[in-house]
Structure 1
Amino acid sequence: MLTGVLSRAQSKDPVKGVWSGTVNMFGSATPVLINFDPLQQAVGSRRATIDLPKMGLHSVQVDTLMQGPKDDSLRLVVSTLPGSFVGRLSADAQRLTGFLLLAGQRMPLQLQPGKLSWSTPLRPQALRLPLPYREASITFAGGSSGTQLAGTLALPKGRRSVPAVVLVSGSGPHNRHGEQFGHQPFRVLADNLARRGFAVLCYDERGVGASTGRFAPATTTDFAADVAAAVAALRANRRIDAQRIFLIGHSQGSLEVARVAAQDAGVAGIALLSGLAEPLVEVYKARLRAQMAPHLNKSDTTGRADILKTQLVCEAVLTIIAASPNEAAAVAALQQPIPAQGITPEELAYFAPTYMQPTVQDILRQDPRADLRKIRVPVLAVTGALDTDAPAATQLPALKAALPASSSTQLTTVVVPEVTHFLQTIPAGTTLSPYDNPESISPAALSAIGDWLTKQTKQPKSN
């Protein structure tokens, strides 16, 4: 949930129209735009929007606009984006200064009236025209009542009974192209696979783009049900070979495709990109330790003690939330001290909000091993050597240990050198943010995925 408290000057509705500023996110100056025009309508009209264009998030609806009890503040709620914004309006009503909490980062943000302009770097992996395949819009019933999913189906020209692939994006709201950081990696991947003779289905996640339903309250189970619905839609298409439908999931999407494969024996195989195989609470703890390590190395004795205490408290919060069956139980547990570790309820309460959003709670309670143990189809795992979110050193051994030792469950692992969690190449000695990197998806990763699928379907390799 994205919430914001905006202090207001005495004049009527000084915050209106489009306000914009930049935050430093993932090493890149990232524009943030909030459209306050609905304030001229009615508070609570649900028509305000927020844009983070470098993240691929456009016109994300603000769920509610609530005026403060003293008529001196406004609260914005966007349940699609877990995070928060708090800011204060200057006396001349020309600056809104505060902090944006998003993606685990607390970032200074100053908004001013008007829309920023920015240029997108060249994307050399853009599609080559003309396309040797057809693309058609497709809609199908999602995994929940009232959810209609919309996407694009790429089909080889003039062929019947073709193998097919469903692409499943990672955490956060994504459109059918997996758009993020100004890139469309699924567009590039779908094109690569379609040129190899595969039908490829990409779809907007529920509540995103042309798909209906709500993204914010959905759980991993809900998203997996949408993947299963995509498989059903392909099986109903006479051009598709129903016995050769593969699933490819990135990051959190790896959890969803594993769940579908565990429940549907008819899936032909799955590819896990930057995949997860350990309990997610342990993955989050490992990320936390990796984030703290540079600060520990730079701090004096007193500073290290404070950092270690912060790490200890955050790990305790993660453990409590992961072990709690629901939010109410988590809140109750977080109000109790942990005497053995010297952690007070006040300390727990201070750090808990970062992890208390429903989507984060759902992720923390996931243990992919339960689904992986049930899989009886070939599995490909492609991980970047520079992936710090799902490191190959921990996730690939966990994946191998969890998969059943059967002849049908063949595991192929590929660790791609100089490639990150987002499957972008960072050449040695360079530093590129995901947005500033011109590469949308590593050519080596593309080859690994395409070659594996070709081998599974025994098709000749394309040039």
Structure 2
Amino acid sequence: MYRGFWVLIVSLLTGSVGMAQDNVNIAGKWYGTFKLYYGDKYRMIVNLEKDGAGYKGTLELPEMSDNDQFEIETVVYRRDTLLLRIDGMRFAFTGVWDPAAKQFRGITGLGDDQSDTDLGRKEITVGEVYKRPQEPKPPFPYYTEQVRFNNVKDSVTLAGTFTRPAAQGKYPVVLLLSGSGPQDRNEEIAGHKLFLVLADYFARNGIATLRYDDRGFGASTGDFDTSDIYDFSHDALTALKYLKARKDVDIFRTGVLGHSEGAIVAQIVAANNPGVAFVISMAGVGVSGRELIDQQSAAKGKMAGKPDSLILADQVRMKPYWDLLASDSNIAAITPRAQEILRNIYRNSSEDVKKGQTEDELIRRANMSRETISLLRYKPLTYLKQIKCPVMAINGTADIQVDATTNLKEIERALNENGNLLTTIRKFDGLNHLFQRCKTCDVSEYGELEQTIDPLVPEFMAHWILQLPPSEGR
């Protein structure tokens, strides 16, 4: 994207501009928003001042960095076109002045993403960026406590929030496990705080929860980038141990709820573990990580309108790469070969593909983190067959990241064939990976939707939890 983006910028600056006029004074603050892959919207504040014959300035990104100001390395204002650039963070904005609207209409690029952006003088508040009617607001009719607990094995301190009904007592409790990538305790995605909404609903309906920042993120210590799903399971086990030491928790009704990758961690934690009273899998997988990759590429291809023949061709082309990463080989040992495969794929790609990114950009973007490799190599059957407690598995039929039909079928089969008939399997029609009722149902729509989660989902889960007998009685 970055190279193609700069081709666009150069053409804007060097080509003829039909609406060219005397430049307006652009000194002062300018406000805009841009959108990333999952529909995450971010505010940007550009502060410009005169610098000789030109301008200099700073950039603020309030949602990404609270008080930091980044020096804008390049400020070009020619005719009616404004160009801003910061190479170190791969940020760029180019816009053309709209005299009627009194703002620059253009494109923002950040890393590998690009988004339409209007840059104007009117300040933009957080509330104007996102409308999230389900996000709970104080005062809350329940008890909330900020907590910390230590994963001694990995020398990690985890920070989280414990929530329960206000009255004293021992409550069923759910440990909430977030999806892939570094996540905060609310599992915030595109302004949606899924776990906050769930914790609020559960507390209002007699159920306690614990949610925590991933290691190396938020207020938790540790290094996320060098960790995998098995490290995350150590954190979850530590959280369970912490919960069982509390006097306001029913240790025989202590369960885990995982969303997406968190559902995988829940499988690992619950395997052959009598301390887990129940499992809830939200958008969890039943097929291997390698098979999931092909499912995702097929779903995204269909979403883009590709014919089946082209989708299959894409999968065949990428097969050597994914097969290598999914093998049991040492990551460092296979990295040179993996990069060689990607270079060959790039060199044999169409010119349209090459216009979007360079060969080196493709290599750089290839995600070979420990987390990704562990997901690719994950085989759910290994753990599902060891789970003996009640399991609820729910997926949305409009989820293009985890196919509902295939994965729910495999989860149910793995549990039932190994003697666990305490299963509740449910497909929610028309819901996406976040369990939102969606329109296009593409991942880029997450942030556009006001709904954080379809209300039927937390209601369904809470009812199921409350009717379960204590594990002591099973």
Please confirm whether the aligned pair reaches a TM-score higher than 0.5, indicating the same fold: yes
Is 1:373 the counterpart of 2:392 in the alignment?
no
Partner of 2:464: 452
Does residue 395 of the first structure (1) align with residue 407 of the second (2)?
yes
- 3-state SS of the aligned residue for 2:189? coil
Aligned-residue offset at 1:280: 1.2
1:137 has 2:146 as partner:
yes
- Quick one: which of 411, 417, 423 aligns to 1:411? 423
How much does 1:142 deviate?
Answer: 3.0
1:312 maps to what in 2? 316
Query: Superposed, which structure 2 residues align to 1:25-424 within 5 Å?
Result: 25-26=37-38, 28=39, 30-31=41-42, 53=63, 74-76=87-89, 85=90, 99-100=109-110, 107=114, 117=124, 119-127=128-136, 130-142=139-151, 144-293=153-302, 295=304, 297=306, 309-334=313-338, 353-358=364-369, 359-403=371-415, 405=417, 409-424=421-436
**Cα root mean square deviation, aligned:** 4.6
> Mind listing any 5+ residue stretches in structure 2 that lack a counterpart?
1-5, 7-28, 48-58, 74-84, 96-103, 350-358
Give the whole-Å Cα distance in 2 for the aligned partners of 1:229 and 1:347: 48
1:269 CA displacement: 0.8
Offset from partner CA, 1:136-184 (integer Å, 9 cap, x none) = 1111113653321111111223333322111111112222222121121
- The aligned amino acid for 2:397 is A
Distance 1:428 1:145, change over 3 A: closer
CA distance in 1, matches of 2:439, 2:33: 30
User: Following TM superposition, by how much is the alpha carbon of 1:133 offset from its aligned partner in structure 2, in angstroms?
Assistant: 2.2
Moved more, 268-277 or 117-126: 117-126
Q: Equivalent of 2:450, from 418, 424, 438?
A: 438
Q: Give the stretch that moved more between structures: 165-174 or 288-297.
A: 288-297
Q: Sort the Cα spacing of 1:298 and 1:185 in 2 relative to 1 into closer, same or farther, 3 A.
A: same
Contact 1:334 1:345 in 2 (8 A): no
- Equivalent pair of 2:295/2:403 in contact (CA under 8 Å): no
The structural deviation recorded for 1:95 is: 12
CA distance 1:167–1:335, shift in 2 (3 Å): closer
Question: One-letter code of the match for 1:30?
Answer: K
User: 1: distance between equivalents of 2:130 and 2:45?
Assistant: 23
Give, in angstroms, the shift of residue 271 of structure 1.
0.2
Counterparts of 2:388 and 2:65, CA distance in 1: 39
With over 3 angstroms needed to count, the CA separation of the structure-2 counterparts of 1:220 and 1:35, relative to structure 1, is farther
TM-aligned CA deviation for residue 99 of structure 1: 4.9
TM-score normalised by structure 1 residue count: 0.73
User: How big is the shift at 1:395?
Assistant: 0.3
Q: How many aligned positions are there?
A: 413
Gaps of 5+ in 1: 1-5, 7-16, 37-47, 77-84, 459-463
Q: Which amino acid aligns with 1:117?
A: I
Indicate if the aligned counterparts of 2:268 and 2:383 stay in contact, CA closer than 8 A.
Answer: yes
Structure 2 length normalisation: TM-score?
Answer: 0.72
Higher mean displacement: 141-150 or 383-392: 141-150
Identity %: 25
Instruction: Assess, with a 3 A threshold, how the Cα gap between structure 1 residues 273 and 74 changes in structure 2: closer, same or farther.
Output: same
User: Partner residue of 2:77?
Assistant: none
Cα distance in 1 between the residues matched to 2:68 and 2:312: 38
Give the secondary structure class of the aligned counterpart of 2:468.
Answer: helix
More deviation in 147-156 or 318-327?
318-327
Q: Structure 1 residue 360: deviation in Å? A: 2.2
Q: How far is the alpha carbon of 1:268 from its aligned partner?
A: 0.3
1:429 Cα shift? 11
Judged with a 3 Å threshold, the aligned counterparts in structure 2 of structure 1 residues 157 and 19 are, in CA distance, closer, same or farther, namely closer
Deviates more, 1:403-412 or 1:448-457: 403-412
Q: Distance in 2 between matches of 1:217 and 1:262?
A: 24
- Note closer, same or farther for the CA distance 1:326–1:99 as it changes in structure 2 (3 Å cut): farther
What secondary structure is seen at the aligned counterpart in 2 of 1:124? coil
* Structure 1 Cα separation of the partners of residues 379 and 122 of structure 2: 43
Structure 2: distance between partners of 1:136 and 1:248: 20
Amino acid at match of 1:131: F
Cα deviation for residue 329 of structure 1 reads: 2.7
Distance 1:211 1:34, change over 3 A: farther
1:196-226 residue CA offsets vs partner (Å, 9 max, x unmatched): 2222111111222222222222211111111
Q: Does the 8 A contact of 2:432 with 2:441 survive in 1?
A: no
Q: 2: distance between equivalents of 1:121 and 1:74?
A: 29
Aligned AA (1:399): I
* Preserved CA contact (<8 Å) 2:216 2:223: yes
- Residues 109/367 of structure 1: CA separation in 2 closer, same or farther (3 Å cut): farther
Match of 2:34 in 1: 22
Secondary structure of the residue aligned to 1:422 is coil
